[in-house]
Amino acid sequence: MRVTEVRMVELVTKALERARDRAAETGNVVSTGVRADVPSVDPTAWQDGMRAKVRTALSEHHGSTIGRTKDALAGQEGALETLMQAFIRAHEIALGAANGSMNAQDRGTSAREAQALHGTALVAGNTRGPNGEYLFSGSLGQSQAYDSTGAYNGDAQTEQVEVGEMGQLAPGLLNGTALRDVNGVNVMGLIGQLATDLSTNNLASISASLSRFNDAIDALARARTQVGARMSAFDSADEARRSLQLHLQETYSKTISADPVAAASDLAQAKNALEASQAVAQQIVTITRPQA
Amino acid sequence: MAGLLGAFELGANALFAQNEAISVTGRNAANANTEGFSREIVDLESNRHLGITVGLTRRSEDNLLASREREADGNRGRATTLSTALAAMERNLVGRDNLPGNIAELFGSFMELASAPMDDVRRSQVISKAGALVSTFHDVANSASQARSGSDARLVTWAAAATEAAQEIASANRALGTSPDPMLMDNRDKAARKLAEIMGGQARIDTDGKMRFVLPSGEVLVDGDRAVTIQTVVDASNGNHLAVRAVDGQHVGVLTRSLESGKIAGEIAFRDGTAAQTQQNLDRLAYDLAQSVNLVHAAHAGLDGVAGRNLFVPLGSPTGAAAALQLNPTLTANPRLIAAGTVGLGQTDNQGAVALSALKDQLLAGGNTRTFTDEAIFDLTTVGSATKTAQGQLELESARSDVLKSTRDSISGVSVQEEMTHLASYQHAAEAAQRFIATVNSLFDSMLNKL
């Protein structure tokens, strides 16, 4: 085929443009670390990468939710520990007071300690979260869980929180209904009642409360076990979430991010091609220049 | 034999012929870089009595190749505008904002609100994320809308350029009727290629030597000395976008739907195809999302225990929904009214927030076939796929054009070195003719001196 000088220069110019564009593209990939910045580069990869990115973002929110709920559960666990200590001490006081060797004055002294323990128990039962909500109130978080007599003001609502993909829910905080004995009686008034019995020297009632204290301590132990189980469920969910997040990040890297080694190699190739094109262009210009 | 006087004539003819050849060579060399120029060939014919005569100066051309070039120009024109417009819209849709990410962030904020329904910070976060999503919808709607109006603006330019090219062909036809100038033919071919690049279609040379330019739909753009005017008019039936028509006196031919190739066809394919579909998809997504969120939101209660409020201002229809999407100003002013709870339960109930968050996993978009984030990703990927296809088509058409250009160059292109060789050859022939004339003259002198 007959090829004119003009066509030769045009062809070499085009080749030079292509080589320069390729070098610029690969340089951009190396400097940004992003291979598929728009879907048209690789629609399937971009789609997979974006899905991974969206799932990673939601996973971050799951992480925050889990962390926040675990903090609140830790608050409940601390409160239950305090309650447990108060009830064990109150049980000891009741045991001592039920003994016939203690006189009315001694019981009066114990009554003051029991009253203090009752106050401690109420404070623990009315533990609040970071936003001022009462942790044991169920859905009525704006109301105190227990009044001064230990009566429960909350409800039986247990809120579920999302901990994983596809709306995986887990029960969050325990409500005050967990602090009931086997007969369904709220245990929070027990220490207050003991204080009254001690101050009125009601030996029969004190003796009768001993079994109720045992039931209350059992109820508190059960509640602590439930909180522990929920914490553990959140830990497992968090573990699974982290593992998923790693997988998603890997997917994102494979699809959207550039492989540094491959990108550097591409850049070197593009640079070589550009240099070769420049050399050829120079030769062509020399060849096609009309000789005088 | 013509004798010595006849020899003079032979020499003069030879000199004239070589001068004509040198003149053609010079014109070829001068136009070596002129786009669309076809090199000229001078026919020198041997003549028993005159020695040599100069025949026609003809263009080195191939009509079939020219026809294929025009076809390729039309296809490349369409691929170029489509690819450029799609790539620009894709960059605007994907580059500026992250629609799928912002949808996910809204649902993530519902999820976090469920873990702390009384937390004012979480409530403000919901408003902030919803606001960011609204703003993103506005941006993408604006991008799609601007992409379509950008096409309209370019259509006006292309229509004017097509009219100019058609008129150039008609005036070249007129001029060629009186003088078959090769330069005029070159200009007419160039104008025909330009017209084909913009409008598609094909040109043919009729028996009277005039070019006739016809579109595949049968619409005649140039017929001899007559050329149509390509106009753009507002089309109320197509969202007030521009329609393209060919006007020739009283005759008006609507071309908007019938163009198959050329830049205008590319613009229309973009504007009424992918860009319109994308705009529609984004509107549908915004509408479905607002409707679904509002439905759940209205069924639940804010911290004041009252239900029935929408998070987004309700939309009348999907048309224009992405641009019209707005947050409920009552909620923006008081995030404590965000419905995270259940009517009748307390303030720390989170069932509303859980239900709102659960919407992200439900197939409520794309005609109940995809989740909201998947639909956003799908819509953007659709634009990306169309861009990639158009870019591939452009590469293919460019390669075809390149091959044809090389073929044309091999037939009609000017090689400067070749012309220099011809020039040297004609110069030698002219010198020989001069010497021949000098010799004859010398003989003539000798003969006269002997008389």
What is the CB neighbour count within 10 angstroms for residue B64? 8
Nearest CA in chain B to A165: B361
The answer to whether residue A271 neighbours chain B at the CB level (below 8 Å) is: no
In terms of Cα–Cα distance, which of A75, A107, A76 is closest to A93? A107
Distance of residue A138 Cα from the nearest chain B Cα, in angstroms: 7
The answer to whether residue B111 neighbours chain A at the CB level (below 8 Å) is: yes
In terms of Cα–Cα distance, which of A154, A152, A148, A153 is closest to A195? A148
Interface of B with A in 380-419 (CB under 8 A): 380-381, 383-385, 387-388, 391, 402, 405-407, 409-411, 413-418
Give the pLDDT mean for B388-403: 95
Q: Do A38 and B90 touch (CB under 8 A)?
A: yes
- By residue count, chain B amounts to 451
Strand partners, B247: B229, B252
Q: Specify the DSSP class assigned to residue B344.
A: T
Domain ranges (residues) in chain B: 3-60+415-450, 92-143+274-385
- By residue count, chain A amounts to 292
The answer to whether residue B207 neighbours chain A at the CB level (below 8 Å) is: no
Angstrom distance (rounded) from CA B288 to CA B270: 25
Mean pLDDT score of chain B: 93
In angstroms, what CA-CA distances link B367 with A108, A287, B101, B285? 75, 64, 21, 10
Q: Do A166 and B351 touch (CB under 8 A)?
A: no
What is the CB neighbour count within 10 angstroms for residue B5? 9
What is the CB neighbour count within 10 angstroms for residue A257? 18
Write the DSSP assignment of A193-239 as a string of letters.
Answer: HHHHHHHTT-HHHHHHHHHHHHHHHHHHHHHHHHHHHHHHHHHHHHH
Interface of B with A in 150-179 (CB under 8 A): none
C-alpha dihedral, B289 to B292 to B294 to B295, nearest 10°:
170
3 state SS of A63: helix
Q: Do A47 and B407 touch (CB under 8 A)?
A: no
ipTM field: 0.88
pLDDT of residue A182: 84
The answer to whether residue B421 neighbours chain A at the CB level (below 8 Å) is: no
Q: Do A162 and B373 touch (CB under 8 A)?
A: no
* Residue A233 phi, psi dihedral angles, 5° rounding: -65, -40
The answer to whether residue A162 neighbours chain B at the CB level (below 8 Å) is: yes
Burial of A232 (0-12, 13-18, 19+ CB in 10 A): exposed
Burial of B352 (0-12, 13-18, 19+ CB in 10 A): buried
Q: In this model, does residue B159 exceed pLDDT 50?
A: yes
The answer to whether residue B82 neighbours chain A at the CB level (below 8 Å) is: no
Select from A5, A43, A50 the Cβ nearest to the Cβ of B415: A5
Angstrom distance (rounded) from CA B217 to CA B258: 6
Q: Do A7 and B413 touch (CB under 8 A)?
A: yes
The answer to whether residue A160 neighbours chain B at the CB level (below 8 Å) is: yes
Angstrom distance (rounded) from CA B159 to CA B267: 12
**Looking at beta carbons, which residues of chain B come within 8 Å of A40?**
86-87, 90, 383-385, 387-388, 391
Select from A50, A64, A288 the Cβ nearest to the Cβ of B100: A50
The answer to whether residue A287 neighbours chain B at the CB level (below 8 Å) is: no
Encode pLDDT of B93-108 as tens digits.
Answer: 997 669 999 999 999 9
Q: Give the CATH fold of the A54-253 domain.
A: f41 fragment of flagellin, N-terminal domain (1.20.1330)
pLDDT tier for residue B57 given thresholds of 50, 70 and 90: confident
Angstrom distance (rounded) from CA B81 to CA B240: 21
Compute the radius of gyration of chain B from its Cα atoms. Answer: 36
Q: In this model, does residue B33 exceed pLDDT 50?
A: yes
Q: Of the spans A153-162, B44-53, B153-162, which averages the highest pLDDT?
A: B153-162
Burial of A1 (0-12, 13-18, 19+ CB in 10 A): exposed
- B233 token code pair: 């008019």
pLDDT tier for residue B1 given thresholds of 50, 70 and 90: very low
Q: How far, rounded to the nearest angstrom, does the alpha carbon of residue A83 sit from its chain's CA centroid?
A: 27
Asked whether the beta carbons of A216 and A87 are under 8 A apart, the reply is yes
The answer to whether residue B261 neighbours chain A at the CB level (below 8 Å) is: no
pLDDT of residue A37: 85
**Looking at beta carbons, which residues of chain A come within 8 Å of B136?**
none
Angstrom distance (rounded) from CA A77 to CA A62: 22
**Looking at beta carbons, which residues of chain B come within 8 Å of A131?**
116, 118-120
The answer to whether residue B374 neighbours chain A at the CB level (below 8 Å) is: yes
The answer to whether residue B97 neighbours chain A at the CB level (below 8 Å) is: no
Give residues with Cβ within 8 angstroms of B267, minimum separation 6.
Answer: B81, B82, B85, B151, B154, B155, B158
Nearest CA in chain B to A70: B115
The ranges of chain A with pLDDT < 50 are: none
pLDDT tier for residue B2 given thresholds of 50, 70 and 90: low
Suggest the residue from B336, B348, B357 to mutate for an interface test with chain A (most A CBs closer than 10 A).
B348
**Of the candidate ranges A40-54, B31-45, B149-163, B254-268, the one whose mean pLDDT is the lowest:** B31-45
Segments of B48-193 assigned E as strands: 51-59
b vs e for B243-279, b when ≥16 Cβ sit within 10 Å of the residue's Cβ?
bbbbebeeeebebbeebebbbbbbbbbbbbebbbebb
Angstrom distance (rounded) from CA A79 to CA A60: 29
- A103 token code pair: 């006189």
In terms of Cα–Cα distance, which of B45, B52, B43 is closest to B9? B52
Give the pLDDT mean for B121-142: 96
Q: Which of the pair, B408 or B332, is modelled with greater confidence?
A: B332
Encode pLDDT of B353-384 as tens digits.
Answer: 999 999 999 999 999 999 999 999 999 999 99
| Helix, strand, coil share (%) of chain A residues, nearest 5 | 70, 5, 25
| Helix, strand, coil share (%) of chain B residues, nearest 5 | 65, 10, 25
Give the pLDDT mean for B338-363: 95
Percent of chain B exceeding pLDDT 90 equals: 75
Angstrom distance (rounded) from CA B410 to CA B387: 34
Q: In this model, does residue B206 exceed pLDDT 60?
A: yes
Asked whether the beta carbons of A197 and A92 are under 8 A apart, the reply is no
Q: Specify the DSSP class assigned to residue A152.
A: B
Q: Do B380 and A69 touch (CB under 8 A)?
A: no
- A199 token code pair: 């101050």
pLDDT tier for residue B139 given thresholds of 50, 70 and 90: very high
pLDDT of residue A8: 85
In terms of Cα–Cα distance, which of B208, B188, B157 is closest to B61? B188
Cα angle, residue B129 at apex, residues B128 and B134 outer, rounded to 5°: 95
Interface of A with B in 99-158 (CB under 8 A): 129-133, 137-143, 154-155, 157
- A281 token code pair: 């262009």
Cα angle, residue A15 at apex, residues B261 and B403 outer, rounded to 5°: 45
Percent of chain B exceeding pLDDT 70 equals: 99
In terms of Cα–Cα distance, which of A163, A171, A158 is closest to A235? A163
Asked whether the beta carbons of B182 and B59 are under 8 A apart, the reply is yes
Domain ranges (residues) in chain A: 1-15+257-292, 54-253
Asked whether the beta carbons of B39 and B30 are under 8 A apart, the reply is no
Q: In this model, does residue B399 exceed pLDDT 50?
A: yes
Q: Which of the pair, B347 or A247, is modelled with greater confidence?
A: A247
Q: Do B384 and A40 touch (CB under 8 A)?
A: yes
Burial of B343 (0-12, 13-18, 19+ CB in 10 A): middle
Select from A7, A131, A172 the Cβ nearest to the Cβ of B119: A131
Q: In this model, does residue B127 exceed pLDDT 80?
A: yes
Q: Do B380 and A39 touch (CB under 8 A)?
A: yes
pLDDT of residue A290: 66
